[in-house]
Structure 1
Amino acid sequence: MSYFLEENDFEVFNYIQQELDRQNTHLEMIASENFTFPSVMEAMGSILTNKYAEGYPYKRYYGGCEFVDKIEELAINRAKKLFGCEFANVQPHSGSQANGAVYSALLKPYDKILGMDLSHGGHLTHGAKVSITGQMYQSFSYGVELDGWINYDKVEEIAKVVKPNILVCGFSAYSRVLDFKRLSEIAKNVGAILMADIAHVAGLVVAGEYPNPFPYADIVTTTTHKTLRGPRGGLILTNNEEYAKKIDKAVFPGMQGGPLMHVIAGKAVGFMENLKPTWKEYAKAVKLNAKTLAEVLMQRGYKVVSDGTDNHLVLLSLLDKEFSGKDADLALGNAGITVNKNAVPGEIRSPFVTSGVRIGSPALSARGFKEKEFVIVANKIADVLDDIKNTQKQVLIKSELKELAIKFPIYTKAIF
């Protein structure tokens, strides 16, 4: 009997091959996506997927965990070293579940959450009404000004009125540095726990290219993919022993059963990559490339929210254009550039249409794109948007960008 996917299920194998071709020939510029390391995929595709390991290292409810205990211990210790903290839980299946576990550990139903508004760049799990975090708890929000910057005085005003149990800072579409010190002061003044969700910038944080929320944040959550380039998953960090014990219980048995040991192995491998000196070079490139992207787009007459970026993403406002974020998303996709439509400050359209697009530099930076290539790409983005209904131009640009893309292959073959 064959154990190879190509022979056992050619339909799935064929779609994977097509996706491999798409990733190699298109320009991936969704800010929350990245290309993980082959070694991470090797760990995730290993026999560890066979092993149940409910509980924590050396305190399991299943036998035969002597080796996966050591792997999870490695992941924990590497995470603590990376972020400079005393406690790490590497078991959450996603960033959303990590956030949910923190709330479950430290809040009662109908306690108060204050987080960034979803339409202003926050995340669903920061109390959005469509999320369980906005239904199980009383959720309130702060946002950005029309210039795209957070006004911390206003955040403080809202916090004094709301008196939240948890103040959440973090984002999915904010291009500037968060003032963790100021946010910590605001939280302390109203008796709130400060939780920093750094899912988008964690890879920059560990490289010293973005401020570390410790020691200001009480709890830090993140995903392990995005700018970290690890496997899809979540992570919870803290220096507070009391919170740590409650979080462990909230993750298991509160939120999850068996941890995904193959993913935890992938996290350990990814963290090792993040600890290498070369990681700092990558993080610097991510920031420099995003800055280059923003500068060229502004030179071409496009409005960049907050007039620039301090991290890995650029939020392009199309409020002054006749076309929408959805229109731009589709046109750029036809030209081989993958982005996502996104709400912007002063939004006038629905969340399904929007007046902006979010563009990121991590994935192309992982392929080896430098400033020179980002100047080319930024100009091609502007070329598409300048003549957004010209489908023939989109086809031509797609062909031109494919020639550029294949010079920077990310994977030479699918890994099974």
Structure 2
Amino acid sequence: MTDTDGDALHTAGAPDKWARFRTELFELGARQEAYERSVINLIASDNAVPGWRARSLPYAGDMIQEGIVGKRPFAGAALHNELERVAAEIACEVFGTDHAILQSHSCSQANQAVYQGLLRPGDRVLALRFRAGGHLTHGMRANFSGRDYAFGFYGVGPDGRIDYEEARRTAKEFRPRLVICGSSSYPWSYDLDELRSLCDEVGAYLHLDLSHEAGLIAGGAFACDLRAADVVTMSLDKTLRGPHGAALLCRAELADRMDAAVHPGTQSSFPIRRLTDAATALLESRTAAFAEYAGRSVALARALGRRLLAHDARAVVGGGTDKHYLLLDTRRVFGHDGRGAEALLEELGVLTNRQSLPHDPSDRFRDAGGLRLGTAWLSSCGYTTEDAEELGELVVHALSGRDRDTCAAAFRELTGRHRPGDVRGMTEFVPAAN
């Protein structure tokens, strides 16, 4: 099937069928774009990307590549090697690491490469318990990680913070080969000195999974010294606002092992454009505009949390956040489980995601006791702390059973002040002041 002139499909067989498919596809795409402009998106892994970037990319080609720099199975790789070298050098400069690989299709795949490079099947790994904020690739039984490796877990105390004493005790008994620090729903900073000490004591590698925090770290809004870790993985999208994919960073002495773990260990081809798009996003992270966006992401989450806590001191798990998201205990405060609260807000034009909480009876999503509320999308679209506080008030009203039509109208009015197309950004690269 071809579309030679952009207006008509030229096909053999039943042209009406293919024309219908094309029409349906474009109509649905337009509806999805309109939908995204009509809602408030509090899903922590979503973001809005600056529109200028699409007009300012260094490479718009279509070629793929395979292998590691200097070890390609395809011809015509000389410039690909140079593009990947420069992109990796930028990543190392931004995050202060020795070696970087930007090929992985997702952070889950980058995590798989870390395990491939450092572990053998059945080796022991220590990670944050899923219910306490850990990620499914950190040992969930239904995931490849829990099926291929022997996981032990540490958790959080009554205050919602990591119990580092428990982690140390468990590490001494369990003797893991790898310790993972990272989460998908743990809103606080990490004590990397404590974890580094723990790893040195038991002879384990330290892996930081910073899928959510990458952009906050690059923008100076979240303190995290990556030099404490042996390996680091992070999403290129989410808070970093780059292409969908992931970076794997490591110490110099692990570079060859991580290269081999990526190729041929866990993947084959990848698009060259992901490297250049990622490098562009990383360059943007060195600007004052990006630093302002990152700082405002955290400020918005804290403002949202303050308003929720004003309604009920139990509303925000742990009482606050250091990141761009917080955890709302909907079961205890509003009588809704996470699934019900998510559906209720979606009907009113607010997108969230259900989230297991530390005191939930199980790790299953259907038993989730709350919501994860993220603010990176809000920050990219120019929302203010006053907007966030107003949003918190509306969330309280909605989950408390106030008049639905009134709540829906108030959400629409707030949404109308800001659009994804309003994403703030630069038109040329201007480094931030040191």
Query: TM-score scaled to structure 1, two decimals?
Result: 0.92
1:337 corresponds, among 329, 347, 350, to 350
**Greater CA deviation, 53-62 or 33-42?**
33-42
- Matched-pair contact (CA < 8 Å) for 1:168–1:194: yes
User: Alpha-carbon deviations, 1:355-391, whole Å to 9, x = none?
Assistant: 1000011011001111121111111111111117x54
Instruction: Show the counterpart of 2:87.
Output: 75
For the pair 1:285 / 2:268, whether they are aligned, the reply is no
For 2:135 and 2:306, the matched residues in 1 are separated by 26
- DSSP 3-state at the match of 1:363: helix
Return the alpha-carbon distance in structure 1 between the equivalents of residues 132 and 6 of structure 2.
46
SS of match in other structure, 1:236: strand
In the alignment, structure 1 residue 313 sits paired with structure 2 residue 325? yes
Letter in 1 for 2:287: K
- Aligned pair 1:326/2:339, yes or no? yes
CA apart distance, 1:45: 12
8 Å contact 1:127–1:139 — kept in the other structure? yes
1:260 Cα deviation after fit: 2.0
Q: Decide which moves more: 55-64 or 171-180.
A: 55-64
* C-alpha deviation, 1:46, in angstroms: 6.7
Amino acid at match of 1:375: E
* Residue identity matched to 1:82: V
Q: Are positions 1:28 and 2:58 aligned together?
A: no
Counterparts of 2:74 and 2:56, CA distance in 1:
21
1:294 corresponds to which residue? 305
- Kindly tell me the number of residue pairs found equivalent between the two proteins: 408
Q: What are the superposed Cα offsets for residues 256-275 of structure 1, whole Å, 9 maximum, x if unpaired?
A: 11122122221111111112
Match of 1:188 in 2: 200
Q: In the alignment, is residue 245 of structure 1 matched against residue 250 of structure 2?
A: no
Q: Secondary structure at the match of 1:173?
A: coil
Between 167-176 and 341-350, report the one with greater CA deviation: 341-350
CA deviation profile, 1:111-141 (whole Å, cap 9, x unmatched): 0111111121100111111111111111111
Q: 1:4 to 1:222 in 2, by over 3 A?
A: farther
Quote the offset at 1:298 in angstroms. Answer: 0.5
Structure 2: how far apart are the matches of 1:336 and 1:384?
A: 11
SS at match of 1:352: helix
| CA distance in 1: counterparts of 2:51 and 2:73, whole angstroms | 32
Please name the residue that 2:431 is paired with: none
| TM-superposed deviation, 1:68 | 2.6
Q: How much has 1:5 moved relative to structure 2?
A: 8.4
1:261 aligned onto 2:272:
yes
Q: RMSD across aligned C-alpha pairs, in angstroms?
A: 2.3
Deviation of the 1:201 alpha carbon: 0.7
> Retained in 2: the 8 A contact 1:37–1:230?
no
Deviates more, 1:245-254 or 1:264-273: 264-273
Q: Secondary structure at the match of 1:125?
A: coil
Q: Does 1:359 align with 2:370?
A: no
Question: CA–CA distance in 1 between the matches of 2:58 and 2:42?
Answer: 26
TM-score by length of 2: 0.88
What secondary structure does 1:64 align onto? coil
User: Contact 1:44–1:262 (CA<8 Å) still a contact in 2?
Assistant: no
Contact 1:369 1:408 in 2 (8 A): no
Shift of the 139–202 alpha-carbon distance from structure 1 to 2, 3 Å rule, reads same
Quickly say closer, same or farther: Cα 1:375–1:64, change in 2 above 3 A: same
2:398 matched residue in structure 1: 384
Once the two structures are TM-superposed, the CA of residue 85 in structure 1 deviates from its matched residue by 1.1
Is the Cα–Cα contact under 8 Å of residues 147 and 345 in structure 1 kept in the other structure? no
Question: What's 1:274 paired with?
Answer: 285
Structure 2 spans left out of the alignment, 5+ residues: 10-18, 425-434
When residues 116 and 42 of structure 1 are mapped into structure 2, their CA distance, relative to the original with a 3 A threshold, is farther
Q: Which runs of 5+ in 1 are unaligned?
A: 412-416
2:386 corresponding residue in structure 1: 372
Say whether the 8 Å CA contact 2:38–2:412 is kept in structure 1: no
